[in-house]
Amino acid sequence: MVIEGQGALFDRPEFESSEKMRAFLRAFEEKERLVGLLDRTIAASGVTVLVGSEANLVDVPDIGVISAAYRAGGYGAGTVGLVGPTRMDYGKLMPLVGFMSEVISDVLDPGDPDAEASDPD
């Protein structure tokens, strides 16, 4: 699991409280909970959105997760996702997460016929 950019969240008004920042950092320290959250994404198809209590991060209720599985050899190989405040721009970010999962899948499995079918060339 690679976690990057969590410091940028603390510039948001939702995280002005030091208690909220501590709760958020504790949630990221609980790797098992995050892995369970991302495992749900691998089982789903397409982009998954979890908001507030759906994300199962009890200590951080005003958070959203946008994630999508990437594949290798036709099987779920991992998940790419964004974690941010519940007010983030889902309409803008969901396609980005979906695109990133497709790019990673294409890199991991360049001979996948489904990936070539979506190529306009």
- Does 12 reside within a domain? yes
The answer, yes or no, to whether residue 10 has pLDDT greater than 60, is: yes
- Does 116 reside within a domain? no
Would the pTM of this model clear 0.75, i.e. be above it? Answer: no
Evaluate whether 90 touches 66 at the Cβ level (below 8 Å). yes
| pLDDT score at 1 | 56
- Does 1 reside within a domain? no
Tell me how many domains the chain contains. 1
CATH number at residue 14: 3.30.450.40
- Does 58 reside within a domain? yes
CA distance 50 to 90: 11
Helix (H) or strand (E) holding 27: helix 18-29
- Does 32 reside within a domain? yes
Helix (H) or strand (E) holding 47: strand 47-51
Q: What is the pLDDT of residues 21-55, one digit of tens each?
A: 777 777 667 667 777 777 777 777 889 998 877 77
Evaluate whether 72 touches 109 at the Cβ level (below 8 Å). yes
CA distance 113 to 94: 24
User: Which residue in 70, 68, 54 sits closest to 106, CA to CA?
Assistant: 70
Q: What is the pLDDT of residues 52-100, one digit of tens each?
A: 777 766 667 777 889 999 988 878 888 888 888 888 899 999 999 999 9
Q: Containing domain of residue 104, as a range?
A: 6-111
- Does 13 reside within a domain? yes
